[in-house]
Structures are given as structure tokens and as C-alpha cells.
Amino acid sequence: MTSLTVCLLIGSLCSCDDGENASTSDYWDAGAFPSLDYSDFPTVCSKDANLQFRLWFMPGFYSVVCFLGLTGNLLVIVTVFYFRRLKTMTDVYLLNLSFADLLFALSLPFWAASSMAQWVLGLPLCKAIYTVYKVSFYSNMFLLSSISVDRYFAIAKAVSAHRNRSRAVLISKVSTAVIWVAALVFSIPEMVYTDITNNTCSPFSSHFDRLRIGVHMSQIVFAFLLPLLVMAFCYSSIVQTLYQARNLERNKAIRVILAVVAVFLLCQVPYNLVLFWNTVVTAQGGTNSCSYDNGLIYATDVTQSVAFLRCCLNPFVYAFIGVKFRHDLLKLLKDFGCMSQERFFRYTCGRRSSGATETETTTTFSP
């Protein structure tokens, strides 16, 4: 019996003598061995569809976003410095918003490379791209909440804002430095926990300890929900003040800021919700459903692409809504020889001059 078992396992045809000659097939046909039950064997969840989606969609998408982000934010930065438009706290914050988006746009080629093949660029660069993303995200949140506070005092508390106007730019520069340091501090977990798993650069480990979960929840509360509450309070107060004052110019002054906040939240919130749910699922030990696991991967990839898109959208908001910025941008192109004098006057004919009188509620990017 033992020799027959060996014959069957190695799959060879042999003659086995155990008192009588019998072929392997005779024993198999006779049902000498019961059929095996494969239901208890683990099956491998196929990720081929996710891989194909990443290969054809994400590299091209990230390349386009990278080009638009670099071009647009560089134009914003050059325009602001060329015309020396840093006259309000919001101007300083919006300029730093462009620096944050520019920094993240520079990392997008590495994100594109990571979606095409296995990660071969080493652990330091793996940690760097996730850290840059988080620094950009947190600096955006803190800068937008600071803008909301500045606009709140400039519109809802105009007397107090006028009293401190001479120190506004200095205060904004100091607070901006604090914001960058805070964004870097909140990004430390990405430096620590990001790792290369199965040849893939990922911020998620296969095992979440309590410390990791606590740190992640602290990031969500203090660097996302709290700034969101600050913005909600400030802008609700601003809208109430503008509604009571019925001042058209002040309504125009806040339009660009609200558009920037809306673009950021619409792009970023879905991705953060998916990341939060991924954390919950991983902390609970993962899922046994292959389709559910693949669905989470698809949701992460799609919402991540939308979140990354926001780094190139603000310049379009400034150009399409902000008349003053659009005038400065066209004048910059004319001064650099990229636009004729006739075309410049055609585009700016009848528009308000960028040298108009400034108030507490007007910024470089105002309509």
C-alpha cells in the first residue's frame, strides 16, 4: 500500500507488487483513494484588473496633472513676485498655497512610476513621496483655515482688521512659517510607517498596532476636522455679514476664496474618507472577500487621482474668477514678449486696473 501511494504521488507509471500485480489506474478506478476536498485550501485573490487599470490610466493622468501643476503654479508665483502683490495676509497665504501645490506636483512623476511597475527606487524615496503628499495636504488645510480667519476679521470684524493692517503681512509670514513646521510634524508618521511591501511602496502596513491607529486618528481630528470646523465657522459668519450688509464689492472679494476652498474639499474629502475606511478595515484584520478588497483598491486609486488633481486647479480658479490676477498675468506675458500690445489691450479693455485702491477685503486674487 505504501509503495502504491508513492507511485501515485510522483505521477509515474509503475507496477506494484503487493501479493498481486495491479496497475495504478486499476487502484484509482476502484476508488482505493477518496476524492480530495479542495474547499479548505486558500485561494489567491487576483489583482490583475486593478493592475491593468493602473497601467493604462494613472501614468498618463499623473503626467498631465504634473505639467499643468508646474506650469500654473509657477505662473502664479512669478506673477505675484513680479508685481510685488503681497499686500494682505491672504495674498501671502495664497502664495504659499501655490508653493505647496508646486512641491507636490514635482513628486507626481514618481507616483506615476510607482503605478506602472514594482517599486525599485528604494525606501528613502518611497518615504519621501508620501511625506511630500502629506506636507502638501496639511499645509493646504492650515493655509485655507488661516485664510478663512483672515477673511473673517477683514469682513465680519472690519474695525479690528483695519487697526492691525500695518502688521498684517508680518503676522502672515510668521504664521506661515509655523504652518509649514506644523505640516511637517503631522507628516512624521508617513516618514516612520511608509514601507515597501511586496515590492510596492505603501503607507499601509499589514498590521496596525494601537499606536499607529491612535496617531492616524489624531491626524484626522487635528489636521483635518479641526481646520474644517474653523473654516465652516468663519465662512458662515462671513456669508451672514455680507447678506446683512448687501455690499456687492465685498461679495466679489470672497468669491475666489470660496472657490479655492470648494475645489480643495471636493477633490480631497472622498480620498480621505476612503483612506479612513481602509484604516478601519485593516485594523479589523482585513477582509476575506476578494471582490470587496478589489473594490477598495479601485476606490483608493480613483479618489487618489481626484485628490492629486487639486494641485493644478487653483491657477485656473484665479485666472477665470480673479480679474486682478488675470490682468497681472496678461501684463506679465506682454512684458515677457509672449503677447502683443494690441492683444493685451483687447483682452483688458474696459477692465479695472490692477492698481486700484486696496481695502482690507481685496486681495491680489480678488474679482
What CATH number did the domain enclosing 295 receive?
1.20.1070.10
Within-domain flag for 355: no
The answer to whether residues 36 and 131 belong to one domain is no
Highest mean pLDDT (candidates 125-134, 164-173, 340-349) = 125-134
CA distance 102 to 50: 29
Q: For residue range 206-230, what is the model confidence (pLDDT) as tens digits?
A: 555 677 777 878 888 899 999 999 9
- In this prediction, residue 213 carries a pLDDT of 76
Tell whether the model's pLDDT for residue 163 goes beyond 60: yes
Q: For residue range 54-107, what is the model confidence (pLDDT) as tens digits?
A: 888 988 999 999 999 999 999 999 999 998 888 888 899 999 999 999 999 999
pLDDT bracket for residue 128 (50, 70, 90): very high
The answer to whether residues 133 and 160 belong to one domain is yes
- In this prediction, residue 17 carries a pLDDT of 47
Tell whether the model's pLDDT for residue 154 goes beyond 70: yes
- Higher-confidence position of 327 and 42: 327
The answer to whether residues 188 and 78 belong to one domain is yes
- In this prediction, residue 266 carries a pLDDT of 95
Within-domain flag for 353: no
- pTM comes to 0.81
Within-domain flag for 125: yes
The answer to whether residues 17 and 55 belong to one domain is no
The answer to whether residues 11 and 75 belong to one domain is no
The answer to whether residues 149 and 26 belong to one domain is no
Range of the domain at 24: 2-40
Within-domain flag for 332: yes
pLDDT bracket for residue 16 (50, 70, 90): very low
Mean pLDDT of 27-43: 50
Within-domain flag for 334: yes
The answer to whether residues 30 and 80 belong to one domain is no
The answer to whether residues 193 and 99 belong to one domain is yes
Q: How many domains does the chain have?
A: 2
Within-domain flag for 218: yes
- In this prediction, residue 263 carries a pLDDT of 94
The answer to whether residues 35 and 60 belong to one domain is no
Mean pLDDT of 289-316: 91
Buried b (16+ CB within 10 A) or exposed e, 201-219: bbbbeeebeeebeeebeeb
Within-domain flag for 206: yes
Within-domain flag for 330: yes
The answer to whether residues 35 and 74 belong to one domain is no
The answer to whether residues 165 and 16 belong to one domain is no
The answer to whether residues 319 and 223 belong to one domain is yes
